[in-house]
Amino acid sequence: MGMRAEEEEEGGGGGEEAEIDRLPIDVLAQVFVMIPSFADLAQASGVCRKWKRGVKLSLGQRERLSFAGLRMDDDSAARIVGSAYALRELDISRSRWGCHVTDEGLYRISLAKCAGKLTSISLWGMTGVTDHGVVQLIARANALEHLNIGGTFITDKSLYAIANSCPHLKSIVLWSCRHVTQNGLLFLVNRCRKLESINVWGTRVPIDCFVELLNINPGLRIK
């Protein structure tokens, strides 16, 4: 009786088995990899135990992951990223629903196996993180090419860490980062020779700084 109940749960209930439930678990995981919405994945994992395993397996194959619009905290974000071994692009931007990831969360994410493979990270609007968390994450993310830390309270300390750890950086968004200074920007552009674009809208650096940045890198696009 117990075995029958388990079989029914695996198949989504009694009656004729649905076509998708006949798929092997690895094929089912490939289907879930193609679902871009993490909210949809969360719902799928609640259908049955087989789907839950499929969703978990799909996390290890995903190259992009976005928590935008979700109520994530340090524990949930670190746990999910820790399962995403192939991850390349991570978006944990703040949204109107509130993504409450702090420095502790960034530290735990930095310990994930995928940290050294990340090429794109967005921390846009994450007011709960400081230089401490950003520096810890950046120290491991040395393959980074695109970084968005706009709307945060980071200072030149983060820029120094980025400059020293991210030689492949191509673009950075510092939108409204009012605590960064001319010194930090000049150091960053001097060290990151592959930098193509920098967004400094809303910062408090003087106009003369932009001229100096272009003297260092004439091809730099400044927004």
The closest of 152, 202, 204 to 183, measured between CA atoms, is: 204
**CA distances to 27, 54, 139 from 20, in Å:** 10, 12, 42
Q: What domains, with CATH codes, occur in the chain?
A: 1-59 (no CATH), 63-222 (3.80.10.10)
Instruction: Tell me the backbone φ, ψ of residue 73, rounded to 5 degrees.
Output: -125, -175
Given a cut of 50, whether residue 4 has pLDDT beyond it is: no
- Around Cβ 10, how many Cβ atoms within 10 Å? 15
- 25 pLDDT tier (thresholds 50, 70, 90): low
208 Cβ contact partners less than 8 Å away, ≥ 6 residues apart: none
What's the average model confidence in pLDDT over 173-200?
96
Given a cut of 90, whether residue 170 has pLDDT beyond it is: yes
Check residue 19 and give its pLDDT.
62
Check residue 45 and give its pLDDT.
66
31 Cβ contact partners less than 8 Å away, ≥ 6 residues apart: 20, 23, 54, 58
DSSP letter assigned to residue 176: T
pLDDT tens readout for residues 32-43: 666 666 666 666
Average pLDDT, the chain: 83
* Lowest mean pLDDT segment, chosen from 43-52, 71-80, 122-131: 43-52
Most confident stretch, 36-45, 56-65, 188-197: 188-197
* % of the chain at pLDDT higher than 90: 53
